[in-house]
Amino acid sequence: MENLKKKFAGKQAFINLAIIVLTYVLLTVLMSAGLLNRQYTSLLVPIAINVILAVSLNLITGFLGELSLGHAGFMSIGAYVGALITINMDAPEIVELTLALLAGGAVAAFFGFVIGMPVLRLNGDYLAIVTLGFGEIIKSVLISMKITNGAKGLQRIPLYTTYKSYTLVFILMVISILAIMNIVKSRHGRAICSIRDNSIATQSIGINVSRFKVMTFVISAFFAGIAGVLYAHNVGILKPTTFDYNKSIEILVIVVLGGMGSIRGSVIAAIILTALPELLRGADDFRMLLYAVVLIIIMLFNHSKIKEGLLNNNIFGKLFKSNEEKVGE
Amino acid sequence: MALLEVNNLGISFGGLRAVDNFNISIEKGQLYGLIGPNGAGKTTVFNLLTGVYPPTDGSIVLDGVNLNGKSANEICRAGIARTFQNIRLFDKLTVLDNVKTALHNQIKYSLLSSILRTPAYFKAEKAMDKKALEILKVFGLDRIHEYRASNLPYGMQRKLEIARALATNPKIILLDEPAAGMNPTETQELMDMIRFIRDNFDVAVLLIEHDMNLVLGICEQVKVLEYGRIIAEGDPIKVVNDPKVITAYLGE
Amino acid sequence: MFNNILEQLINGLRTGSIYALIALGYTMVYGIAKMINFAHGDIIMVGAYALYVAIVLLHLPVIPAIIFTCVVCSVLGILIERIAYKPLRNAPRLAVLITAIGVSYFLQSASLLIFKATPIPFQSIINIQSINIGGVTISGITIVTLVVTTISMIALTLFINKTKAGSAMRAVSEDMGAAQLVGINVNRTITLTFAIGSFLAAVAGILYICQYQSLKPTMGALPGIKAFVAAVLGGIGSIPGAMLGGIILGIIESLSKAFISTELSDAIVFSVLVIVLLVKPSGFLGKKKNEKV
């Protein structure tokens, strides 16, 4: 049985690897054959950015079980730090970008630590508001600072991460996903999940809940910062208002739609929700309404009798269940 | 000196004295019972001993180490583990992962190891699996280690909680109504298990229980609590026949 | 200088009393349903648009327009509770919170679709001369705001302490299960709470729009969040706390706008929240609650 399980785990890793390689090969073939028009190619980097954002927010929302409404704030820190580095530096592209990514991630992570500290003493509802407030504070600080050029924002950021450098962005995305997946399936990840399930019991088995809450925020903020750096060098201009409440909600919608606590779900939802609005241009006003409806319906559905009914139904049950059989008395 | 030495422990909630002048001294490997009518403050004693509430006064010393003012997770690492009256499992984790989570401080590797999947990670995870299954086997839960904790029947959930507490490698384990909701056969099994873990895992046990068969069956010493105060203590048989204790349970 | 400070204090009192009205809605719902109604701020926005529709589009006189606004908001509050929150009464907090955010977002984007993003100018319906006391000018809107909020708060306090429905509310907020056992209709009490909270938000919305005279779909978010900060500052769940918190917050905001920086005033308000939560999470007048183990 042990062997079987190990084989299965190995198989899972193999499948993941196969998906990654296939996706990359497919992209390369399509790109070099010129089968992707500009509209599609311009989507590649934004999709990767949203994947990183969603997967890292999922660590807080899906695994730690807390709600953060300030993810766009962490992203903006990464974006500004990264952009300021590449604008003011004069070095080869790869050096500048590497430095920007590291610094953007690190500074965002530092703010994750700063935000994580008060969070320790708060429960869910307060935490959501504090993170929301944090996002707003960041925005108004960015507007009032000179170095960030105030409300006008930063311009002429070198375009290092356009669709042309999709290989680099793809690799960074894969690294981010794997890193977070690996954390989830480790002693650290188990500690994080146990806090979500029962924080008092987690304390009682000798795990320092506060430490892990902060750690989760730091890790999540780091990757949001990375996503911010990629964003800055993809669009070339930054405005404080880009990283508002709506952006945080957009990421939350991706996580909720993909399923809280499902990394694969986050990835798929990020692809769909980034591509869909672009392909359905003109319906932009309805997009936000749709997001709102998605949030409400999924929450109501998850806790409704309909889902219970489906679970007990043979055909649909198999779709949802997997590994949830009841043990006989 | 005894393993656990508690002196003059007390706590007030507002004006209410929930526990007052509580003393206990538990030897290595001893099976100790804490009984008393509902609302007597038994669970509060557990919460004080495990750092859920900070005591208003008194001292707690485990194996020569003063635990006053320590947080719940520090107290667990010092060697006191517990279960809860209202079961608190990690519902969405598997049975195996519930126990592995409790091995957090026993078998370690760094965050970097887990991100990079270094050999240290695989080695430690393997050791964790082995240790966790070994503990689960004591409770007959090893066959079903892949199920989600929330899908277990009630009796098994209680056992899993004990297994989880045991995985923290405690010197003493506090069980809060371990037999609640169990039928007589299950209770009998539980008694055997408690004795088994005492003998094989080298722990002392302090348990709260209403099931007198269990208390009389395994406890070597008992204390009776009423309105936060100790009203009787000593040999179980003698204690339950003490008129004061009978009055406490049944009224005048 | 002294007059300037005094004027800022009065400004703060005016904004603060609007925050207090909104904060009451947060605190009442929190006290009873143990949830943060994220959409509460957006009810203010709906109230403002309802007033605009009544006065500008339907040409109603002032009093019927105000009644129309209050009815729209109260009904909306009840609908939100029934449709979105009631099915989740036993669900995890995270699910309720996400739903509430969804509702808030829904209201904002729905009004964006209907009224578009361009701000709509709106003429104040309050036309009272400002008065001058010893060199300090107090505007008509300030006077009306202070009078209306004072009356609302007294009425609410009387309602909660003197009526049967009010004592049912207090009972449900103390212990929902026990209240049900003694025969209190919990569902009806929660509905009533949402209705009253939304009614107060409508009043706040009317006062707010008369002060700022411009409508946009996101206008409710910021006062909503600030009112929440006020509710936490005063101690969430406590009705006098919400009043006190609102006024203190209004004064802090007005003073920091005048003497520190307009851009950073929001940041300062949020810093207040963080500090309060760190130093005294239960707020000025709140009760500390421990989870039962």
pLDDT of residue C292: 64
On whether the CB atoms of residues C28 and C193 are closer than 8 A, the answer is yes
Which pLDDT belongs to residue A321?
Answer: 42
Q: Is pLDDT above 90 for A290? A: no
pLDDT value of residue C290:
57
Q: Which residue has the higher pLDDT, A123 or B159?
A: B159
What angle separates helix B119-138 from helix B95-102, to the nearest 10 degrees?
Answer: 110
Q: What is the pLDDT of residue C42?
A: 95
Is CATH 1.10.10 the right assignment for the domain spanning C2-121+140-279?
A: no
- Contacting residues of B for C290, CB less than 8 Å apart: 53
Six-digit token pair at A84?
């300021």
pLDDT of residue B116: 93
Nearest beta carbon to residue B101 from set A2, A191, A329: A191
User: What type of residue sits at position B48?
Assistant: L
Average pLDDT of every residue of chain C: 89
The answer for residues whose C-beta is within 8 angstroms of residue A247's C-beta and 6 or more apart is A71, A72, A75
**Residues A205-242 as b or e (16 or more Cβ within 10 Å = b):** bbbbbbebbbbbbbbbbbbbbbbbbbbbbbbbebbbeb
Structure tokens at B252: 């005048």
Tell me: pLDDT of A62 over 60: yes
Note whether B88 contacts A201, CB cutoff 8 Å: yes
Copy the structure tokens of residue C41: 């701020």
Q: Where would I find the H helices in chain B?
A: 42-49, 72-78, 95-102, 111-116, 119-138, 154-167, 184-201, 212-218, 236-240, 243-250
Note the pLDDT of residue A317. Answer: 44
B31, containing H or E segment: strand B31-35
**Would you state the pLDDT for residue A326?**
38
pLDDT confidence tier of residue A8, bands split at 50, 70 and 90: low
Q: How many CB atoms lie within 10 A of CB C150?
A: 12
Mean pLDDT of all residues belonging to chain A:
86
Contacts of C291 in chain B (CB under 8 A): none
Domain boundaries, chain A: 41-279, 286-329
Residue B124 and residue A208: Cβ atoms within 8 Å?
no
Q: Which parts of chain B register pLDDT below 50?
A: none
Q: Write the secondary structure of chain C as one string of H (helix), E (strand) and C (coil).
A: CHHHHHHHHHHHHHHHHHHHHHHHHHHHHHHHHCCCCCCHHHHHHHHHHHHHHHHHHCCCCHHHHHHHHHHHHHHHHHHHHHHHHHHHCCCCHHHHHHHHHHHHHHHHHHHHHHHCCCCEECCCCCCCCCEEECCEEECHHHHHHHHHHHHHHHHHHHHHHHCHHHHHHHHHHHCHHHHHHCCCCHHHHHHHHHHHHHHHHHHHHHHHHHHHCEECCCCCHHHHHHHHHHHHHHCCCCHHHHHHHHHHHHHHHHHHHHHCCCCCHHHHHHHHHHHHHHHCCCCCCCCCCCCCC
Interface residue C271 vs chain A (CB under 8 A): yes
- Rounded Cα distance between A27 and C27, Å, is 53
What single letter denotes the amino acid at residue C13?
L
Provide the residue ranges of all domains of chain B, joining segments of one domain with +.
1-79+169-252, 89-165
- Per-domain boundaries in chain C: 2-121+140-279
Query: What CATH number does the domain located at B1-79+169-252 have?
Result: 3.40.50.300
Terminal-residue alpha carbon distance, chain C: 55
Phi, psi of A90 (to 5 degrees): -130, 80
> Which runs of consecutive H residues, i.e. helices, occur in A120-279?
124-144, 166-184, 187-197, 199-204, 209-235, 245-258, 263-279
Residue A158: how many other CB atoms lie within 10 Å: 16
Whether C87 sits inside 8 A of A300 (CB atoms) is: yes
Work out the number of other CB atoms within 10 angstroms of the CB of residue C22.
31
Q: pLDDT tens for residues A92-112?
A: 999 999 999 999 999 999 999
Cα Dmax for chain B: 68
Least confident of A26-40, A226-240, C170-184, C239-253: A26-40
Q: Between A123, A289, A303, which is nearest C95 by CB?
A: A303
Shortest Cα distance, chain C CAs vs residue A264, angstroms: 21
Contact residues on chain A for C264, CB-CB shorter than 8 A:
140-141, 144
| CA B134/CA A275 separation, integer angstroms | 49
- In chain A, residues 219-248 whose CB comes closer than 8 Å to chain C: 245
pLDDT of the residue at A281: 66
Among chain B residues, CA nearest to C290: B53
| C221/A contact by beta carbon, under 8 A | yes
